[in-house]
Amino acid sequence: MQRGGTTKPLYTADERRRRDATRWTLVQGVLAPLQFAVLLVSLALVGRYLATGEGLWAATASVLAKTAALYAIMVTGSIWEKAVFGRYLFAPAFYWEDMVSMLVLALHTASVAMLVLHWGSPAARFAVALAGYAAYAVNAAQFVLKLRTARLQARPPEPPAPLLRAAEAAR
């Protein structure tokens, strides 16, 4: 919030122009739902393994695929942030989303490190991966809310109701 109770726009006019001009906006728009789809498949496979003890290879592969998708969207997202805001991470407009993204990366990376270094049982590795998935869900919600706010801010403001009634009455 700025002084006077108004909300600071997510993008300046120049940032909006750069956002609309960069190909990285489309890349993010493709990778985000792809990563979500990988998450859903992985949740099913990890859940199956934890419930039945079957499908360890598939569950492990799905965690690796989810981690790869996360790294892809983080790298390209950093490039997007640089193109739009002039810095790779922690631009003021996305500071808290980037902070939570660091937790998401840490948890995903920890689950892969546990696999590679043979630390813990498969159930322990999957518990860390699921914690990463929960953090990802929070982070995804942050981005959805932020982008919804940006879309609402991009709309021209509606005139106050008395002006609307007066304009309609004049017709």
Q: Give a yes or no: residue 162 inside a domain.
A: no
Residue among 151, 152, 169, 150 nearest 161 (CA) = 169
pLDDT for residue 22 = 96
- The pLDDT of residue 89 is 97
Residue 88: its pLDDT value, please?
A: 96
Assigned domain for 160 exists: no
Domain count, the chain: 1
Q: Which domain holds residue 118?
A: 9-155
> For residue 166, is it within any domain?
no
Q: What is the pLDDT of residue 1?
A: 43
Give per-residue burial for 95-126: e unless 16+ CB within 10 Å, then b: eebbebbeebbebbebbbebbeeeeeebeebb
Q: What is the 3-state secondary structure (H, E, C) of the chain?
A: CCHHHCCCCCCCHHHHHHHHHCHHHHHHHHHHHHHHHHHHHHHHHHHHHHHHCCCHHHHHHHHHHHHHHHHHHHHHHHHHHHHHHCCCCCCHHHHHHHHHHHHHHHHHHHHHHHHHCCCCCHHHHHHHHHHHHHHHHHHHHHHHHHHHHHHHHHCCCCCCHHHHHHHHHHC
pLDDT of residue 10: 86
Query: What whole-number distance in Å separates Cα of residue 4 and Cα of residue 136?
Result: 34
pLDDT computed for residue 153 by the predictor: 80
The alpha carbon of residue 56 and the mean position of all alpha carbons in its chain are separated, in whole angstroms, by 28
Residue in 98, 99, 123, 126 with CA at minimum distance from that of residue 112: 126
Let me know if residue 24 belongs to a domain.
yes
What pLDDT does residue 61 have?
99
Asked whether residue 134 is domain-assigned, the answer is yes
- What does each of the 171 residues of the chain score in pLDDT, given as a tens digit? 444 445 678 899 999 999 999 999 999 999 999 999 999 999 999 999 999 999 999 999 999 999 999 999 999 999 999 999 999 999 999 999 999 999 999 999 999 999 999 999 999 999 999 999 999 999 999 999 988 888 888 766 665 666 666 666 666
Is residue 117 domain-resident? yes
